[in-house]
């Protein structure tokens, strides 16, 4: 019994695409034996096998051993950038992106956020890891969520809202955080309400557009926030 874990899916365009096959049993990574729970002995501790990937950079190689069709095979895997963009990787040297509108704080779902306590909920986990596997080509550039609400009269009733996944704005798909900001800025002046729809929530989030604009600066001032948004333009073509 060599242990190991069964490969049930290979994410398209990932580092494993074209290297691992469905049905492979991954038995070693960098000469570390992988047990049936996907754990390896690393620095005198039992940790998940992908720590070897976490400790490397894009372009580095990993040596793998798999059991395939009745025999062991040695493979070399070259680490690529995450197939869905920077939100799939840890971020250490940048302040987080955000957009505030009507006291709602919007962010793009990312690895740092989902690994924070209390944030690995089934909807967020599905959107972050599994949507592209289960429903190919339905994933947007980024998954936009309302992470918290800064209480004010315009958002009365939504104070406890948390991790609301935003799929659309006034019926139009939201592709990324920068796209959402652009949509809000280009909203026609005669707009009465802004309606944030979600595939995961039956009841949409509705704000009065005019009141949201009127209360914007007072909300920022009340909570000591200097800027109503932070978007890195070089990462987001939709912001241009």
Contact 131, 185 (CB under 8 A): no
Q: Are residues 17 and 121 in the same domain?
A: no
Determine the Cα–Cα distance for residues 7 and 23; give it in Å rounded to an integer. Answer: 5
Q: Are residues 67 and 137 in the same domain?
A: no
- Among 54, 78, 102, residue at a domain's last position: 78
Amino acid 234: pLDDT: 56
- Among 78, 109, 126, residue at a domain's last position: 78
> How many angstroms separate the Cα of 25 from the Cα of each of 1, 66, 71, 106, 133?
12, 5, 10, 40, 19
- Share above pLDDT 90 across residues of the chain, in percent, rounded to a whole number: 56
Per-residue pLDDT band at 131 (split at 50, 70, 90): low
Q: Are residues 159 and 138 in the same domain?
A: yes
Structure tokens at 27: 């038995």
State the residue range of the domain holding 11: 5-78
* The dihedral formed by the CA atoms of 213, 215, 218 and 224, expressed in degrees to the nearest 10: -70
Which residues, 6 or more positions from 132, have their beta carbon under 8 angstroms from its beta carbon? 11, 12, 83, 84, 138, 139
Q: Are residues 132 and 220 in the same domain?
A: yes
Residue 240 pLDDT more than 50? no
Amino acid 90: pLDDT: 54
pLDDT digits (tens, 9 = 90+) for 1-41: 568 999 987 877 778 889 999 999 999 999 899 998 888 88
Determine the Cα–Cα distance for residues 220 and 216; give it in Å rounded to an integer. Answer: 6
Determine the Cα–Cα distance for residues 68 and 27; give it in Å rounded to an integer. Answer: 10
Q: Could you give the angle at the alpha carbon of 79 between the alpha carbons of 76 and 85, nearest 5°?
A: 150
Structure tokens at 10: 């290979």
- Among 44, 78, 112, residue at a domain's last position: 78
Q: Are residues 13 and 128 in the same domain?
A: no
Q: Are residues 66 and 93 in the same domain?
A: no
Domain count of the fold of the chain? 2
pLDDT digits (tens, 9 = 90+) for 52-73: 887 888 899 999 999 999 999 9
Average pLDDT over residues 83-105: 73
Average pLDDT over residues 187-196: 97
């Amino acid at each position: 019994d060599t242990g190991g874990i069964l490969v049930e899916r290979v994410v398209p365009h990932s580092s494993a695409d074209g290297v691992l096959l469905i049905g492979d049993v991954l038995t070693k990574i960098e000469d570390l034996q992988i047990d049936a729970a996907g754990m390896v002995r690393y620095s005198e501790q039992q940790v998940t096998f992908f720590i070897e990937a976490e400790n490397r950079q894009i372009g580095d190689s990993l040596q793998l051993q798999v059991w395939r069709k009745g025999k062991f095979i040695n493979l070399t895997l070259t680490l690529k950038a995450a197939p869905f963009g920077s939100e799939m990787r840890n971020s250490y040297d940048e302040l987080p992106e955000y957009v505030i509108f009507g006291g709602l704080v919007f962010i793009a779902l990312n690895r740092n956020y989902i690994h924070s306590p209390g944030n690995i909920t089934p909807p967020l986990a599905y959107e972050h890891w599994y949507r592209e596997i289960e429903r190919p080509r339905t994933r947007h550039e980024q998954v936009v969520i309302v992470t918290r609400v800064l209480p004010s009269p315009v958002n009365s009733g939504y104070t406890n809202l948390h991790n609301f996944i935003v799929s659309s704005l006034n019926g139009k798909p939201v592709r990324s955080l920068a796209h959402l900001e652009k949509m809000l800025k280009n909203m026609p002046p005669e707009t009465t309400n802004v309606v944030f729809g979600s595939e995961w929530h039956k009841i949409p989030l509705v704000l009065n557009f005019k009141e949201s604009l009127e209360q914007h600066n007072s909300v920022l001032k009340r909570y000591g926030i200097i800027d109503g948004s932070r978007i890195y333009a070089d990462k987001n073509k939709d912001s241009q």
